[in-house]
A and B are shown apart, each in its own frame.
Chain A
Amino acid sequence: MALAENTFYEQPLLEISGLKTVFPTDDGIVNAVNDVSFSIARGQTVGVVGESGCGKSITGLSMLQLVPPPGRIENGEILFYRNGADEPLDIAQVSPKSELMRQIRGNEIAIIFQEPMTSLNPVYTVGNQIAEAIVLHEQVDKKTAHERAIEMIARVGIPAPAQRVDEYPHQLSGGMRQRIMIAMALCCSPTLLIADEPTTALDVTIQAQVLGLMQELQAEMGMAIMLITHDLGVIADLADEVVVMYSGRVVEKGTVDDIFYNPLHPYTQGLLKSIPVLGRTPEKTLPSIPGTVPHPLTLPVGCSFGPRCPERMPQCDQMPELAGVNGKSEGGAHTVRCWLHTDLEG
């Protein structure tokens, strides 16, 4: 039994390779997601961290074929290992409006968004909205779906679920709305949950409740979580693996301990140093990264972080590859996109 459990966590669930999502604009093409590769194993939590405009949200939306027009996936593979299927399915090749994509969306891969007020429909009761997803994906009647909705509301820790099910979103607090979003996302037992800044709009004590709930439900249901956030504290709390993004590209990825205790990319190092940490004796000045994130239409030549990088070298005019640390192949767990850790040859 123990063996079976171990292999469960080693099975791949999703493998993204070379993903490129572009937005054609009047002024040029914006490469919102550029050559992004990483994988998510079953039951694992992968944190995707970066500042606004780094492409972390668009990566999440690409995985569901929900990229808003005129954006589109131009290149790359999103291999999704569905339950019971031998061959993985390449989501990048599935049409956004196809029946197949609809079966996956919400049923096998679910998503929760940052702002719980705007992602719930104000004119339907929360019970109605949860039941809608159940009726869409499963062969059940409305009555059963309604009962399942009550069950889910109870499961996300909302008191008096039988009454709450008939309430409208405006009658609930922000934390409860986010719980409803979670209930809705999990009602069909997805194998992957994409959580895009799930607690950014919430207060810290409510954030702690919601993060705790996500961890409990993950342990119970065994789903994988892709956690998109800019908050390194949330990443340290939940993630097993971390992907750091900058200007549309992955600049470093590794286990949570690799990233926090042995960060290799100057951007990751700068990011970790520049956040004030609770309880650490405050220094007079906080080390900060100079400058700002480059505009996506006027990216610098070579490494996008080059102009802000304290370690800039002549090679930085060429884009380095994402490569294993110290010349090891990319198969290694800890990879980084930086000339400091790559040979020009390799």
Chain B
Amino acid sequence: MTKLLEVNDLRKYFPIQKGIFQRTVGYVKAVDGISFDVQRGETLGLVGESGCGKTTAGRCLLRLIPPTSGSFIFGEEQVDLAKLTHQEMRPFRRRIQMIFQDPHASLNPRMTVGDIVGEPMRVNRTEEGSALQDRIVELLESVGLRSQDTRRYPHAFSGGQRQRIGIARALALQPELIVADEPVSALDVSVQAQILNLLAELREKFQLSYIFIAHDLSVVEHISDRVAVMYLGKIVEISDAVTLYQSPKHPYTEALISAVPLPDPSAQRKREHIRLEGDVPDPSQPPNGCYFHPRCRYATDICKQETPELRQVAQGVQVACHHSETLELQGV
């Protein structure tokens, strides 16, 4: 496998401004130095609770918001996307696309489906005239819609179908990488499975790589090859999906897995339930040391003083915990 994207030390700080002069009084460290890579044809899951910075990280990668620092080395050319100007970025935009969470808000209600799916190709002048129309129909058919749907408007479609339109639009420019931000969380259970299957099928068909951002651990487990767990702007653990869920190495991962109620009553009765105390801390005033220590049941003195670095503990397993070697953590 070849590396498609390498993210090094990505940071995004949002200034907190106060007073009539809008003086900066502090920063919300939404993404606080994360590094990971994505192989070609791979799905990397990015999980975490609200406010952990997973969406901000995704948006930085597409340069939808400018990152504070960090580098993203992309493609065979090994270009650092973070350093490109707006003009230089344009040819790369078509190679990285995004699927959004809310299929009701991400489609323009005044445009027909054909226009929505065709717009990226018109803007980038990749297809014209009847070739464009053929391509639109081909895209719609590849996501399970029909050719006669081109002239209908988004309101005529259900949530799942709208998400299919969003996926067709993302595929229009034959991207290599798709950042999918909570693509199924707004959908009903029975439709969610359809969209997950579609995403998996399209990955095979078009050799796509995904960065799959979601809060639902079971969905992420299903679709991902590797999973990165984020907490308060940092990656606390990254490893292949099976290892992560079977034998987590970070106490936060363990707690997250334990908190998911299993749709299996007797298994659920037998499980040990780890209840984390309190809430996620305010990201503008994170605690000292390990950000997770105030809620961690294994925390010792060192956790209160020193911030653990993300380090390799086994082949393909990276963890940011002082005690990961000595802890015996519960998986599913």
Docked-complex contact B218 and A285, CB < 8 angstroms: no
* Chain B positions within 8 Å of A93 at CB level: none
* Chain A positions within 8 Å of B160 at CB level: 292
Given A278-B217, A278-B245, A282-B222: A271 touches B265 (CB 8 Å cut-off)? no
Q: How far is the CA of A81 from the CA of B167 in the complex (A)?
A: 52
5 of the cross-chain contacts (CB-CB < 8 Å) are: A232-B263, A236-B263, A260-B264, A275-B263, A286-B193
Docked-complex contact B264 and A236, CB < 8 angstroms: yes
* Chain B positions within 8 Å of A290 at CB level: 194
Q: How far is the CA of A209 from the CA of B261 in the complex (A)?
A: 12
Q: How far is the CA of A278 from the CA of B257 in the complex (A)?
A: 8
Give the interface of B toward A (CB within 8 A): 49-50, 158, 160-161, 188-194, 196-197, 200-201, 215, 217-219, 221-222, 241, 245-246, 255-266, 268, 273, 275-276, 279-280, 331-332
Nearest CB in chain A to that of B194: its residue: A288
Docked-complex contact A51 and B189, CB < 8 angstroms: yes
Q: Which of B192, B222, B268 contacts A237 (CB 8 A)?
A: B268
Give the interface of A toward B (CB within 8 A): 51-52, 173, 175-176, 203-209, 211-212, 230-237, 256-257, 260-261, 270-272, 274-279, 282, 284-290, 292-293
Q: How far is the CA of A235 from the CA of B192 in the complex (A)?
A: 18
* Chain B positions within 8 Å of A293 at CB level: 158, 188, 190
Q: How far is the CA of A53 from the CA of B193 in the complex (A)?
A: 18
* Chain B positions within 8 Å of A52 at CB level: 188
Nearest CB in chain B to that of A207: its residue: B259
* Chain A positions within 8 Å of B49 at CB level: 203-206
* Chain A positions within 8 Å of B161 at CB level: 292
Given A51-B190, A271-B189, A285-B197: A260 touches B273 (CB 8 Å cut-off)? no
Q: Which of A208, A284, A286 contacts B259 (CB 8 A)?
A: A208
Nearest CB in chain A to that of B219: its residue: A276
Nearest CB in chain B to that of A293: its residue: B188
Q: How far is the CA of A230 from the CA of B332 in the complex (A)?
A: 22
Docked-complex contact A274 and B263, CB < 8 angstroms: no
Docked-complex contact A275 and B279, CB < 8 angstroms: no
Q: Which of B188, B217, B262 contacts A51 (CB 8 A)?
A: B188
Q: Which of B200, B219, B246, B255 contacts A285 (CB 8 A)?
A: B200
Docked-complex contact B189 and A237, CB < 8 angstroms: no
Docked-complex contact B193 and A236, CB < 8 angstroms: no
Docked-complex contact B256 and A204, CB < 8 angstroms: yes
Docked-complex contact A204 and B193, CB < 8 angstroms: no
* Chain A positions within 8 Å of B264 at CB level: 236, 260, 277
Docked-complex contact A275 and B193, CB < 8 angstroms: yes
Q: How far is the CA of A270 from the CA of B332 in the complex (A)?
A: 23
* Chain B positions within 8 Å of A233 at CB level: 260-263, 268
Q: How far is the CA of A270 from the CA of B191 in the complex (A)?
A: 11
Given A203-B215, A208-B275, A279-B246: A286 touches B196 (CB 8 Å cut-off)? yes
Docked-complex contact B197 and A286, CB < 8 angstroms: yes
Docked-complex contact A236 and B255, CB < 8 angstroms: no
Q: Which of A204, A256, A276, A288 contacts B265 (CB 8 A)?
A: A256
* Chain A positions within 8 Å of B215 at CB level: 203-204
Docked-complex contact B262 and A236, CB < 8 angstroms: yes
Q: How far is the CA of A52 from the CA of B160 in the complex (A)?
A: 12
Minimum CB–CB distance from B190 to chain A (whole Å) comes to 4
Query: Could you say which of B158, B201, B257, B268 has the most chain A C-beta atoms within 10 Å of its C-beta?
Result: B268
Q: How far is the CA of A175 from the CA of B196 in the complex (A)?
A: 29
List 10 additional contacts besides A205-B259, A232-B263; criterion CB under 8 Å: A52-B188, A205-B256, A207-B259, A208-B258, A209-B275, A209-B276, A233-B262, A261-B265, A277-B264, A290-B194
Q: Which of A260, A261, A274, A277 contacts B189 (CB 8 A)?
A: A274
Q: How far is the CA of A51 from the CA of B255 in the complex (A)?
A: 28
Docked-complex contact B219 and A230, CB < 8 angstroms: no
Minimum CB–CB distance from B105 to chain A (whole Å) comes to 17
Docked-complex contact B200 and A284, CB < 8 angstroms: yes
Docked-complex contact B266 and A288, CB < 8 angstroms: no
Docked-complex contact B262 and A270, CB < 8 angstroms: no
Docked-complex contact A289 and B193, CB < 8 angstroms: yes
Docked-complex contact A230 and B188, CB < 8 angstroms: yes
Q: How far is the CA of A285 from the CA of B221 in the complex (A)?
A: 13
Q: How far is the CA of A275 from the CA of B262 in the complex (A)?
A: 10
Q: How far is the CA of A277 from the CA of B275 in the complex (A)?
A: 20
Nearest CB in chain A to that of B252: its residue: A205
Docked-complex contact B262 and A278, CB < 8 angstroms: yes
Q: How far is the CA of A289 from the CA of B268 in the complex (A)?
A: 25
Q: How far is the CA of A284 from the CA of B160 in the complex (A)?
A: 20
* Chain B positions within 8 Å of A257 at CB level: 265-266
